[in-house]
Chains A and B, each alone.
Chain A
């Protein structure tokens, strides 16, 4: 029963107020993409034991989607941020790096490090 803070309305929301939405920062591949690209977009999920970026919706609150960075092994939450970004904000990255010095950024489908 997680607690996540909705960045839109600021509520510290109990998991019962939220709906999960799987992995964040996926890049959509539509018509014209290769079978490999489409497969990666549709089915290949990182499912890591450790730092993970997820989509959540504050369904029974303000209704807004947001993104969360948390550790799937310890359930520590590094931060939540609005969904309207293509990569995690710098302060979230800094917090993760402070808590997990060995962590390497890997949220983009092409595996590129953050700018």
Chain B
């Protein structure tokens, strides 16, 4: 059994015991433990079940490469699934539960998959569940999703706070092992601003476990001396518990600081996401030990050799009284010696090499450890924990020569340099024959903006692997034993988390998968949350061998950020709830809130949708607002309407290019409706343009379109017609605008007083400057409702007061505020189009019967050439018409107009679709506009709209003006 040793443990504080629980069991550990160390100290070898076969799984590693030991951490609003216990710091009160099992960790029904493993090879789901097609959606997928999967997503909002911060430096060093500390010191000595990141809570990396001396000094003393030296410098920032997880363009690095994971609820943000811009990046990210592929290498108790010595040396945790070491290199001998030094038994070291006579093997023999060379593990004995190993010759097919009883197996298949950060932004790799590993190729680095190398790799991450001062050599041992038959190969795990075995990769190769990227997706090798940190190189080697190719020829899969999983909370930062995104409020917003407005988002604006009164539904409120505006007086906050001033000697010429109509001839004091198209000819925006003076025009745009259209104008002025003398200014937020609409509109303005707004003084489609109730105003007599209507602009600072003046004075005239929905209904009753309803980026003005707004005389305007394309000029296009439903009902939003027959996919043919559909309170029935093939020539015809329920709605084709066809209401 695994247990806590009586003495030792360089990272734990025995005077600070902590209590924690695992699956409800109360356990004891020490401050400084990881959760993994704490569980092993309590003999909790079994920590989870595997993804596909539900096999019992234990802790394999001691760092972020751990594939098995994922748990649910915390509960309720602090529940986090898939937390790696090898990087989770233990704290008092920690609650963890295991995942992916049912009903319990010890007894899991899903394990039947294990016995059926022979019938669940690579690509099993693809092969098995393809027929019958509907069964995938209704039977297979829901079942598989329940049975498989990792942790469960929390159901409550996250109780914790996350924040983001920016940092800048000349040199960013990622990883504070010996190589990283040296690099940081060198950069700091050169006067650079340095940031040093370390993912664990302590500096020094593996050195205190693996080495005795650095530069002739005792290792721990060397580290602490350098740490205090660096910490004292003004130009150095050290951040522990901070994982640099992604390298992006031009020295941009993201790092996740786990500020309060180990002190939950103490008020600090749980994580802090750092956005770092570095002049140069040094990665000192070390190397990760590789497992060996032998039968039963996933049974709890089989661990990486370096992890075993981490647990012994750092946490004084014994993986078992007897540990068999199996290796292809000298580094694992350190584990044997560390176990011996802790008073534990190492029954044998099985070395796949024929000869092992380096300094460490010699030291092991001198310590009395039995070293067997040319040997391999034929199979591991045990189910929920290791009970022994069967030994065979590495060169053979697995004939058992001997069985050795043990509680743990420490394996080392060599080391893989952590090249992820080097590769994220395009750094290339080269295969190193001595190390049997991919290492960074310094001649092909990722580049900075100035063409210099952006990343430099140092230490073991660069392939600089040494043991007791001598370079390491790793002979390739990819399968153990070399000639293992299928019975053994189908029990050799490559990817523990996704349950991919040696036999699966070999099968994929036999089935024709020759690309490593395809094999990865077919077998799911390396696609789990550990991203194949342990499995990729072994899997690659097995694939290369099956294909009869060299490993460099097969290549690697792409390394992508993040290096380790990053919680969504850290990526979201403070952008949640009320401050998820910035809000734009009009100057009258507070008054609308007070009036009980129900708001809707329009871009980043919040506009009143309607102003419901007590007991009213939104629909009832909208209908009341429409009827009141048509009968007496409505007030609309139109401040969000885009307002762009275009000014200069060439402004008229410019607007003639921008709009489909002619704006240069518009007389001063008048207004004209205009359409803007993109270069493909599709309708992009519309609005009323007012000529202010000789060289100034004011262009109104849609509420959502102001910024886009302003940018569009600037694009053409700066990049195409840069010699034209035109200035533009987006003054949308400089003015508040109130639409005074309805039969009593003029009366209200007369009550406010200050300027002549009579029919003669201010006719339709004109504007005038003046004062109303003492406010400086510009009054546009324009109408989007068909009513007598004035849109009154005041400086934004007067907006709230002017709105109040209008509502006050309007009371006696029956004024009510109305919202966007009433606006929409009234414009639809008049057949006015709405950008985004009648248009969707594929509609040209001609489709909407707006030919009158397109100049025939102009040689050019943006979109003219596009509209000349044959398919846009075709008479067969769907064109805008109105519809009266025969039964007075409302056509469903998004409905299509069906045609005879079916298309090639067996779907009903269509001949048009609805674009706007409302219940008209004015007409007391459903009205709709839509695009219909040959529409304008089909007046009076009956067509059918489909409905989601499966039926149809019959409607009669008509013109688009449903109300006051002759415009008598506005012509007063």
Contact digits for A45-64, partner B, Cβ 8 Å, 1 yes 0 no: 00000000001010100011
Residues of A within 8 A of B722 (CB): 83-84
For chain A residues 16-74, which have a beta carbon within 8 Å of chain B? 19, 21, 28-33, 35, 38, 42, 55, 57, 59, 63-65, 73-74
The answer to whether A31 touches B865, judged by C-beta atoms less than 8 angstroms apart, is: yes
The answer to whether A14 touches B277, judged by C-beta atoms less than 8 angstroms apart, is: yes
The answer to whether A30 touches B864, judged by C-beta atoms less than 8 angstroms apart, is: yes
Residues of B within 8 A of A64 (CB): 718
Of B109-117, B246-254, B415-423, B645-653, the one contacting chain A is B246-254
Residues of B within 8 A of A1 (CB): 248-250, 252
B715: nearest residue on chain A (CB-CB)?
Answer: A65
- The answer to whether A57 and B715 touch (CB under 8 A), given A31-B859, A75-B250, A83-B722, is yes
Residues of A within 8 A of B616 (CB): none
A15 within 8 A of B: yes
Residues of B within 8 A of A65 (CB): 714-715, 718-719
The answer to whether A3 touches B680, judged by C-beta atoms less than 8 angstroms apart, is: no
B712 vs chain A, min Cβ distance (A): 11
For chain B residues 452-481, which have a beta carbon within 8 Å of chain A? none
- The answer to whether A28 and B869 touch (CB under 8 A), given A3-B250, A74-B447, A76-B447, is no
The answer to whether A31 touches B718, judged by C-beta atoms less than 8 angstroms apart, is: no
B873 vs chain A, min Cβ distance (A): 12
The answer to whether A76 touches B865, judged by C-beta atoms less than 8 angstroms apart, is: no
Residues of A within 8 A of B577 (CB): none
User: In the assembly, what is the distance between CA of A1 and CA of B868, in Å?
Assistant: 40
The answer to whether B865 touches A29, judged by C-beta atoms less than 8 angstroms apart, is: yes
- Which single member of B680, B718, B719, B865 contacts A33 (CB below 8 Å)? B865
User: In the assembly, what is the distance between CA of A72 and CA of B316, in Å?
Assistant: 52
B333 vs chain A, min Cβ distance (A): 43
User: In the assembly, what is the distance between CA of A110 and CA of B250, in Å?
Assistant: 33
B863: nearest residue on chain A (CB-CB)?
Answer: A30
Residues of B within 8 A of A33 (CB): 865
A99 within 8 A of B: yes
The answer to whether A15 touches B249, judged by C-beta atoms less than 8 angstroms apart, is: yes
A93 within 8 A of B: no
The answer to whether B680 touches A2, judged by C-beta atoms less than 8 angstroms apart, is: no
A23 vs chain B, min Cβ distance (A): 12
- The answer to whether A75 and B277 touch (CB under 8 A), given A38-B865, A63-B714, is no
User: In the assembly, what is the distance between CA of A28 and CA of B719, in Å?
Assistant: 11
A77 within 8 A of B: yes
B426 within 8 A of A: yes
- The answer to whether A59 and B277 touch (CB under 8 A), given A2-B449, A31-B868, is no
User: In the assembly, what is the distance between CA of A75 and CA of B188, in Å?
Assistant: 28
A39: nearest residue on chain B (CB-CB)?
Answer: B869
A35: nearest residue on chain B (CB-CB)?
Answer: B869
For chain B residues 827-875, which have a beta carbon within 8 Å of chain A? 859-860, 864-866, 868-869
Contact digits for B246-289, partner A, Cβ 8 Å, 1 yes 0 no: 00111110000000000000000000000001000000000000
A15: nearest residue on chain B (CB-CB)?
Answer: B249
B511 within 8 A of A: no
A7 vs chain B, min Cβ distance (A): 12
The answer to whether B679 touches A57, judged by C-beta atoms less than 8 angstroms apart, is: no
User: In the assembly, what is the distance between CA of A32 and CA of B865, in Å?
Assistant: 8
- The tally of residues in B whose CB lies under 8 Å from a CB in A reads 30
User: In the assembly, what is the distance between CA of A67 and CA of B679, in Å?
Assistant: 21
- Residue in A28, A30, A55 with the greatest tally of chain B CB atoms within 10 Å: A30
The answer to whether B250 touches A21, judged by C-beta atoms less than 8 angstroms apart, is: no
A38: nearest residue on chain B (CB-CB)?
Answer: B865
For chain B residues 717-731, which have a beta carbon within 8 Å of chain A? 718-720, 722
User: In the assembly, what is the distance between CA of A10 and CA of B426, in Å?
Assistant: 28
Residues of A within 8 A of B680 (CB): 42
B711 within 8 A of A: yes
The answer to whether B449 touches A76, judged by C-beta atoms less than 8 angstroms apart, is: yes
Residues of A within 8 A of B251 (CB): 3
A65: nearest residue on chain B (CB-CB)?
Answer: B718
B900 within 8 A of A: no
The answer to whether B864 touches A75, judged by C-beta atoms less than 8 angstroms apart, is: no
B724 vs chain A, min Cβ distance (A): 11
Residues of A within 8 A of B859 (CB): 31
A112 vs chain B, min Cβ distance (A): 20
B451 within 8 A of A: yes
A2: nearest residue on chain B (CB-CB)?
Answer: B249
Residues of B within 8 A of A63 (CB): 714
Residues of A within 8 A of B760 (CB): none
Residues of B within 8 A of A84 (CB): 718-719, 722
The answer to whether A30 touches B865, judged by C-beta atoms less than 8 angstroms apart, is: yes
The answer to whether B451 touches A76, judged by C-beta atoms less than 8 angstroms apart, is: yes
Residues of B within 8 A of A31 (CB): 859-860, 864-865, 868
- Residue in B448, B450, B680, B719 with the greatest tally of chain A CB atoms within 10 Å: B719
The answer to whether A83 touches B718, judged by C-beta atoms less than 8 angstroms apart, is: yes
User: In the assembly, what is the distance between CA of A28 and CA of B714, in Å?
Assistant: 16
- The answer to whether A21 and B249 touch (CB under 8 A), given A30-B864, A42-B679, A74-B447, is no
User: In the assembly, what is the distance between CA of A7 and CA of B722, in Å?
Assistant: 16
A63: nearest residue on chain B (CB-CB)?
Answer: B714
User: In the assembly, what is the distance between CA of A84 and CA of B718, in Å?
Assistant: 7
User: In the assembly, what is the distance between CA of A77 and CA of B451, in Å?
Assistant: 7
B539 vs chain A, min Cβ distance (A): 28
Residues of A within 8 A of B252 (CB): 1
- The answer to whether A2 and B250 touch (CB under 8 A), given A14-B277, A83-B718, is yes
Residues of A within 8 A of B451 (CB): 74, 76, 99
The answer to whether B249 touches A75, judged by C-beta atoms less than 8 angstroms apart, is: yes
A-B contact pairs, 8 of them (CB 8 A): A15-B249, A30-B860, A30-B864, A31-B865, A42-B866, A75-B249, A75-B426, A84-B719
- Nearest first, the 4 closest Cβ-Cβ pairs linking A and B are A1-B252, A84-B722, A76-B451, A65-B718
Q: A76-B449, A84-B718 are in contact. List 5 more A-B contacts (CB 8 A).
A: A1-B252, A3-B251, A3-B449, A14-B277, A35-B869
Q: Please report A residues at the B interface, Cβ cutoff 8 Å.
A: 1-4, 14-15, 19, 21, 28-33, 35, 38, 42, 55, 57, 59, 63-65, 73-77, 83-84, 99
